[in-house]
């Protein structure tokens, strides 16, 4: 039997096909087609494989589960309706996931379909970590709280870090830095999150490719009142024109900003310095939340591939007993331990496997 995992983004759909027994990846691709067309192409591409090894379960990444979904759930019409009702909380991501689910259920009606939520990993954050210091009524209704995001990646990497180091999950303290175009960091103890940087929306926390991350709320009022920005203009700036792009003026792509900095662009150098400081400060805060760090994990596109970024973030973390080996950092590729020999926490570069986590969750209910 096979397991199919879908990850629908705002403009692309990724799929991965796994052999159900071994969970070995046997096929995968990213398509830029609309959901219905993409699902049709995917099934045509894997038809020969599933003819002899039918699809036993289908997992779907859904970014936002709100208060409704605290764990992965088998999809029925009621679940579909609830996911749709959460569109206002994740307008860029929940709609394409919903359309993909509808198309996939129509194409594969005999297989169970399972929704795997990014927010579910953070559902059990302690109250003092998920309730904002706002009027408590806002938390009770309409449910404004820290939801956290990139949960599928953080769940996989926190568990993988313990496995990689041969450590039992119990008592294991990991700080996971998911650094791509979107960025977040999470402190996990016993494989469970105790703090995370993203909040009610994916706009809070670390500096990102086009998002500002956490900024003084007073700036927003100032921009509206003194600069004449409308609510939607301000939202567009915070979501699409800030972060690396906004500061550097070059690009939201870390690689292009790095190249510009190396060519002497001062704003690009500043953008990278702010980015590195943002991550380093989060590591310090999350390490305190854990009372120490057994493993600092870098993952996702930037975290896995930029040795320079890892070096900048780790500069000064010796106070947390985290010491990067510069040779290993430059020469080893994920999955790898980049820490210097000796006592102290380990520094890992891990390839995030959201697709594998989705597939495992889809299989778990069978």
Those residues with Cβ within 8 angstroms of residue 329's Cβ, 6 or more apart along the chain or in another chain: 307, 310, 311, 338, 347
Task: Give the per-residue pLDDT at 22.
Answer: 85
Q: What is the reported pTM?
A: 0.95
Task: Give the per-residue pLDDT at 51.
Answer: 81
For the chain, how big is the Rg over CA atoms in Å? 21
Whether 195 and 186 have beta carbons less than 8 Å apart is answered as yes
- Residue 254, SS3? helix
Q: What phi and psi, each to the nearest 5 degrees, are found at residue 14?
A: -100, 145
Task: Give the per-residue pLDDT at 128.
Answer: 96
In angstroms, the Cα distances linking 202 to 139, 181, 207 are 18, 11, 11
365, pLDDT greater than 80: no
pLDDT above 90 covers a percentage of the chain that reads 88
Fold assignment, 2-117:
Nucleotidyltransferase; domain 5 (3.30.420)
For the segment 21-55, what is each residue's pLDDT rounded down to a tens digit? 788 999 999 998 888 889 999 999 998 888 888 89
Task: Give the per-residue pLDDT at 49.
Answer: 85
- Would you call 128 a catalytic residue per the annotation? no
Mean pLDDT score, 164-175: 97
Whether 178 and 184 have beta carbons less than 8 Å apart is answered as yes
Q: Which of 33, 118, 216, 335 is catalytic?
A: 118
Fold assignment, 166-349:
Nucleotidyltransferase; domain 5 (3.30.420)
Quote the CA–CA distance of 177 and 161 in Å, as a whole number: 12
In the chain, where does the domain assigned CATH 3.30.420.40 lie?
2-117, 166-349
């Amino acid at each position: 039997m096979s397991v199919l995992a879908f990850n629908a983004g705002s403009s692309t759909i990724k799929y991965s096909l796994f052999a159900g027994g071994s969970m070995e990846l046997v096929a995968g691709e990213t398509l830029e087609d609309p959901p219905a067309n993409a699902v049709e192409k995917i099934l045509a591409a894997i038809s020969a494989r599933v003819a002899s090894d039918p699809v036993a379960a289908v997992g779907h990444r859904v970014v936002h589960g709100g208060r409704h979904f605290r764990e992965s759930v088998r999809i029925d019409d009621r679940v579909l309706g609830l996911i749709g009702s959460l569109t206002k909380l994740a307008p860029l991501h929940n709609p394409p996931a919903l359309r993909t689910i509808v198309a996939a259920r129509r194409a594969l009606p005999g297989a169970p379909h399972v929704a795997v939520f990014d927010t579910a990993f953070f559902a059990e954050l302690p109250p003092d970590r998920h309730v904002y210091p706002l009027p408590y009524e806002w938390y009770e209704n309409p449910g404004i709280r820290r939801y956290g995001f990139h949960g599928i990646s953080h769940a996989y990497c926190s568990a993988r870090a313990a496995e990689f180091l041969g450590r039992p999950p119990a008592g294991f303290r990991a700080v996971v830095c998911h650094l791509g175009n979107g960025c977040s960091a999470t402190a996990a103890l016993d494989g469970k999150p105790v703090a995370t940087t993203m909040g009610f929306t994916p706009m809070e926390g670390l500096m990102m490719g086009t998002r500002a991350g956490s900024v003084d709320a007073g700036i927003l009022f100032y921009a509206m009142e003194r600069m004449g920005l409308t609510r939607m203009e301000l939202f567009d700036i915070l979501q699409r024109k800030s972060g690396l792009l906004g500061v550097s003026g070059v690009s939201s792509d870390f690689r292009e900003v790095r190249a510009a900095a190396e060519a002497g662009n001062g704003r690009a150098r500043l953008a990278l310095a702010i980015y590195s400081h943002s991550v380093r400060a989060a590591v310090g805060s999350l390490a305190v939340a854990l009372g120490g760090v057994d493993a600092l994990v870098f993952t996702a596109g930037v975290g896995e591939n930029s040795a320079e970024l890892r070096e900048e973030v780790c500069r000064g973390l010796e106070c947390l007993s985290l010491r990067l080996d510069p040779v290993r950092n430059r020469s080893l590729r994920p999955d790898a331990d980049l820490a210097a020999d000796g006592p102290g926490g380990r520094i890992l570069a891990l390839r995030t496997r959201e697709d594998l986590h989705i597939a495992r969750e889809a299989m778990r209910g069978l």
